[in-house]
Amino acid sequence: MAQAYIQEDDVRGKIYDSKLFRRLLPFIKPYTLSASAAIFLVVAGMLLFLVNPYIIGRVIDDGIKAKSHETIVKLSIFYIIIELLVYIAACIQNYLLQYTGQKIMYDIRFELFSHLQSLPAVFFDKNPIGRLVTRITNDTASLSELFSSGLVVVIGDIVMIAGIAFALIFLQPKLAFYTLSTTPVLFFCAWYFQKRIREAYREVRLKIASLNAALSENISGMRIIQIFNREEVMAQKFDKLNCEHADSQLNSLFYYSLFPPVITIINGLTMTIILFFGGKMVMSGEISTGILVSFISYLQHFFHPIRNISEKSTIFQSAMAAAEKIFSLLDEQTEPSAEISGNEHLIATSSNASTTCLEFLRKDDNCKHSADEQVNVDNGQSSIRGNISFENVGFSYTSGQPVLKNLSFNVSEGESIAIVGHTGAGKTTVASLLNRFYEINSGRILIDGKSISEYSAKFLRSNIAVIQQEVFIFSGDILENIRLWNQNISPEKVGEVFQTLDAADFIKQLPEGLETPIMERGTNLSAGQRQLIAFARALVFNPKILILDEATSSIDSESEKLIQSAIRKLICGRTSLIIAHRLSTINNCNRILVMHNGKLVESGSHEKLIQKSGYYRKLYDLQFKE
């Protein structure tokens, strides 16, 4: 996988791909006016720039040689006006190019991020995070560079080259022929060196990708490296990659350093030709001194755009490769989603609804009410009731390797069900399928008698909360990690949630309460504290179906007591699926489902399953034999 990721940065695309460019047009279209204005200013600036070498020649012939002070003054004023116009055009076109490039990059990044959020879980299973980050950052930046300093600038350079060639021929065709005789050599050298520069650039990209991958891996695994005293070994491995990257950079710099002197030599050769033949023509009277000076002035600007165009080929190639990867990502199939029927709506998180639920929980900690007694949310109406049915469900992550095999079971509204079994039995897969992170291969999954394929994924997940073993903590503070930037949920409501979970002391002990900053991935919190945040997050959004996926497997015994109390509050009045390895966490469940190799092999209460002496009894004996 790592090697495949590195190869993703191998730039071998075309310099121009018409299909890809056509796909870029919708992103360019909103900025057609600014882009067109930039192109116009580039072309106009280049054409104005061509006037001044001619003016210099006229100053010599019509002013200095003719001893006309008035002509010199007029032409000098005209010259400075042209220079000012060129300067103004350059300033405006540079801003417009950067503006257009940044706006296009902004739109593409937003489109990519929005699309990523709609992709199914299986996509993220197969694609490294680093690759996706590269698409949104580096690849969009490559496209921005194409528009801000690539495409339009090349158009201006082409206008400059064509304009100078035309001006030389217009001034003196014979001398123009001598002057342009070195152009084929110039183009050959530009092609030769840029071919090798592109190869060197490709090698640099590959080496930097390897270096970044190693750097990211080492920093992420720094604790393991230090625990096992592998600093020296890892430093040697990194040094090797670092050395390879440095060598590739030096190889690239070799061609970069050699190319400009070659252009300078050809420029000097062309200048010699102009001086030799142009001087003879001046002495013979074929041309004036002013024309020779104009030729020399034009020559000073002829070679730069050719070198510039050859250097831009790398930008074009990189941009086309980036566009191909970006559109490949945008072509990924999004999650299947059904239309939401008229009676389906998202769970409200208003102040009144959440407060009512919290008051209900406080009235009876033992939670002996039926689910019907729970106060409905969302303006007095329930989104779903919470009846769950799996009917002969079959599923496999990889074709030919089934994870679930004809799985069938029912969960009534408000019932708490435990799902147990050895690692790989398919317990977590049940939770993933219920949330439509994956689509089943066969059978049906029903909620309230309706197939989940008839619900939209967004609506379904708004009614289901999942608390996992590894709680993901966002950067920010505790408050935002619980309400997930939903401003309708007040800090007071979050505080009430912690009181309901008997975890108010957790907040009081923090230096800044709910506004206490959290380090990356919550490294300044204990496992139990992170789990409490996950429980509070679930309770504040008040779901009808709750899934606890190994929610207590990574916490200590002391924290587990608090977590167990929180679990009793959480499952109150909700349909709950508790997936567990540790059988001590399922004491409060109404029923236990035992899974083995993707099948439901046993179902019943703890006492009934113990007496049966089957799979559950074996699991129980393994954990509590002593």
Distance of alpha carbon 584 from alpha carbon 449, whole angstroms: 32
Fold of 16-172: ABC transporter transmembrane region fold (1.20.1560)
Give the three-class secondary structure for 375.
Answer: coil
Say if residues 184 and 270 touch (Cβ distance below 8 Å). Answer: no
Phi-psi region of 203 (alpha: psi -120 to 50; beta: other; left: phi over 0): alpha
**Structure pTM?**
0.71
Distance of alpha carbon 248 from alpha carbon 200, whole angstroms: 7
Quote the pLDDT of residue 407: 93
Quote the pLDDT of residue 503: 78
Nearest-10 crossing angle of helices 289-330, 173-180: 50
For 488-532, write each residue's pLDDT tens digit: 888 888 888 888 877 788 888 888 888 888 877 777 787 778 888
Domain 351-624 belongs to what architecture?
3-Layer(aba) Sandwich (3.40)
> Residue 416 is inside which H or E element, if any?
strand 416-420
Per the prediction, the chain carries an average pLDDT of: 81
Q: Do domains 16-172 and 351-624 have the same CATH topology?
A: no
Helices (H), 63-117: 69-117
> Residues with Cβ < 8 Å from 251, sequence gap 6 or more?
200, 203
Phi-psi region of 542 (alpha: psi -120 to 50; beta: other; left: phi over 0): left
> Residues with Cβ < 8 Å from 612, sequence gap 6 or more?
602, 604
Say if residues 209 and 12 touch (Cβ distance below 8 Å). Answer: no
Whose CA is closest to 590, among 599, 600, 603? 603
Distances from the Cα of 209 to the Cα of 15, 131, 213, 241, 584, angstroms: 22, 10, 6, 10, 47
Domain-wise residue ranges, the chain: 16-172, 173-286, 351-624
Give the three-class secondary structure for 204.
Answer: helix
Report the Cα–Cα distance between both ends of the chain, in Å, rounded: 44
For 29-51, write each residue's pLDDT tens digit: 999 999 899 889 988 988 898 89
Quote the pLDDT of residue 364: 42
Quote the pLDDT of residue 203: 80
Say if residues 446 and 388 touch (Cβ distance below 8 Å). Answer: yes
Quote the pLDDT of residue 451: 93
Model confidence at 338, pLDDT cuts 50, 70, 90, reads very low
Residue 92 identity (one-letter amino acid): I
Say if residues 579 and 550 touch (Cβ distance below 8 Å). Answer: yes
Whose CA is closest to 39, among 138, 115, 147? 147
Q: Which residue has the higher pLDDT, 336 or 432?
A: 432
Model confidence at 554, pLDDT cuts 50, 70, 90, reads low
